Structure 1
Amino acid sequence: MRLLTIPADANPSFSKLSLSLASTPEEVREVQRLRYKVFIEAMNLSALANPEGLDKDEFDDYCDHLIVRDSKTLSVVGTYRVLSPHGARRMGKFYSEQEFDLSRLDNIRGVIAEAGRACIHPDYRSGGVIMMLWAGLAAYMRKERCEYLMGCASVSLADGGHNAAALYHAFREKNMAPPDYRVAPLLPFPLEDRQTGVEPQIPPLLRGYLRSGAWVCGEPAWDPDFHSADFFLLLPLSKLDSRYARHYLKDSRTA
């Protein structure tokens, strides 16, 4: 299902990007192939390598998959996986519940959409693709009548975890969720014994969430498979930064 087509601002070798929801098993496999290249091959996660060349799990069958294509080559260049409240009920849980205790959010479970597996081809990271994916998320949430967007943002532990710890201490000062929206990691990332005074470096996806008005909902979880510290974020649509609201929600009305 086509959601939106806008001119690309990224690369002069193509003129348009198109946004859609995956509607066939082959389209889902295209998404999984891109995720494999970005998450597994590029990060050299040999433990997750497989002969199919697909990044997939049990949640894929219950999620909707946003796809951004290069309209010139028809290649999938960006994707976001979204789990609606209905999909979570069918699955029996949200993906984040594998890493966090979300019991404090029980009263809003019916109006939460969960986004994850954000993935953009390395040649298309100048801004146009992620803007389109955010527009797609806004359109999706309007369609599903969701009031909150939640998800995890990963921070690499390649530096020994010092940046993850510095980010948490910075977030604790100005980005933390109100107590009623706090969650607890099931496998906490050990924040102690990390260097102090490190200047935190915020990954682009995490920066995008924060600029849009998202809360950080507690300490990060440790994901040993992807060698990352994962921060749980919750974005109330009512808190969406006005600049982003004007841009994304205006675009989503053309869906």
Structure 2
Amino acid sequence: MLDLAKGRYRARIAVSGDDLEAAQRLRTLAFRGPDAERLDRDDFDETCTHVLIEDIGSGALVCCFRLLRLGSGAEIGRSYSAQFYELSALAAFDGPMVEMGRFCIHPDWHDPDILRLAWGAMTALVDRDGVEMLFGCSSFHGTEARDYSDAFALLRDRHIAPKRWLPRVKAPAVFRYAARLRRKPDLKRAQAKMPPLLRTYLMMGGWVSDHAVIDRDLDTLHVFTGLEIRAVPPGRARLLRAVAG
């Protein structure tokens, strides 16, 4: 069981239908907006573990994400990401894996401790289960690729997946940024446009697909993101484990 605290926040596992519905409501607000007519939910919710981060004082849910455990890459076809990316290369990965999905922070909350605690919770669960790879879809808001040209150029130059794991195109609508972009990135603009979750993945040694999927349902562009746990720099691993307790 997970029960972590940092400052004014705590992280725990969802244990009830009400917990799951609270996560779905936050996801709806974050991904679909306050006027959405339907709750953000899908069949993966029933097979995933859901992590909730709450404000201790008020009990408000400020962040959530879900985890799907896989015994090895042989099970990669069960993942949410496999709907959008051709992941047969990862079928050869022989260690335990976890897919992190639907990560979101309440749009009215901007405390960096929320993201720190989220990664602390993830670290605790990864260590507990002996996970060797963490993966998922990292999302840019909106579907206009030109809004993120510098960020995509930086991903192209520094963070494309190793060839042995590289996801291939499967979705009908994609932006092949690694092939199409010719500009050199402005590093300041690239970092400013990079989603915080993806930025943290990259700081830990993560890598991405060479194309972005255009997801009009959620109004996002997303890249497949992978992180081999043994590649995390020792100093950063120590910081994460300090939060994980």
Structure 1 stretches lacking a partner, 5+ long: 8-15
Paired residue type of 1:4? L
1:26 is matched with which residue? Answer: 18
> Are residues 1:179 and 2:163 paired?
yes
**Deviation at 1:114?**
0.5
* Superposed CA offset, 1:93-113 (max 9, x none): 100001101100012265110
**Deviation at 1:184?**
1.2
Contact kept in structure 2, 1:84 and 1:144, CA below 8 Å: no
* Superposed CA offset, 1:3-41 (max 9, x none): 21221xxxxxxxx21110111111111111111111111
Which of 144, 151, 155 is 1:167 aligned to? 151
Contact kept in structure 2, 1:164 and 1:229, CA below 8 Å: no
2:3 is matched with which residue? Answer: 3
What is the CA–CA distance in structure 2 between the aligned matches of 1:194 and 1:34, rounded to whole Å?
35
Higher alpha-carbon deviation: 191-200 or 179-188: 191-200
Structure-1-length-normalised TM-score: 0.83
1:99 is matched with which residue? Answer: 84
What is the CA–CA distance in structure 1 between the aligned matches of 2:72 and 2:102, rounded to whole Å?
16
Please give the secondary structure, in 1, of the residue aligned with 2:164: helix
Please give the secondary structure, in 2, of the residue aligned with 1:230: strand
C-alpha distance 133-230 of structure 1, shift in aligned 2 (>3 A): same
How many pairs were matched up? 237
**Deviation at 1:123?**
3.1
**Deviation at 1:89?**
8.9
1:17 is matched with which residue? Answer: 9
> Are residues 1:150 and 2:135 paired?
yes
C-alpha distance 118-90 of structure 1, shift in aligned 2 (>3 A): same
> Are residues 1:127 and 2:119 paired?
no
Contact kept in structure 2, 1:20 and 1:67, CA below 8 Å: yes
What is the CA–CA distance in structure 1 between the aligned matches of 2:16 and 2:73, rounded to whole Å?
20
Contact kept in structure 2, 1:68 and 1:78, CA below 8 Å: yes
What is the CA–CA distance in structure 2 between the aligned matches of 1:182 and 1:89, rounded to whole Å?
16
What is the CA–CA distance in structure 2 between the aligned matches of 1:237 and 1:64, rounded to whole Å?
20
> Are residues 1:218 and 2:210 paired?
yes
Please give the secondary structure, in 2, of the residue aligned with 1:118: strand
* Superposed CA offset, 1:62-85 (max 9, x none): 000111111111121111111111
1:230 is matched with which residue? Answer: 222
What is the CA–CA distance in structure 1 between the aligned matches of 2:60 and 2:101, rounded to whole Å?
21
Paired residue type of 2:84? E
What is the CA–CA distance in structure 2 between the aligned matches of 1:61 and 1:240, rounded to whole Å?
30
Q: Percent identity?
A: 26
Paired residue type of 1:184? R
Structure 2 stretches lacking a partner, 5+ long: none
Which of 238, 245, 248 is 2:237 aligned to? 245
> Are residues 1:113 and 2:98 paired?
yes
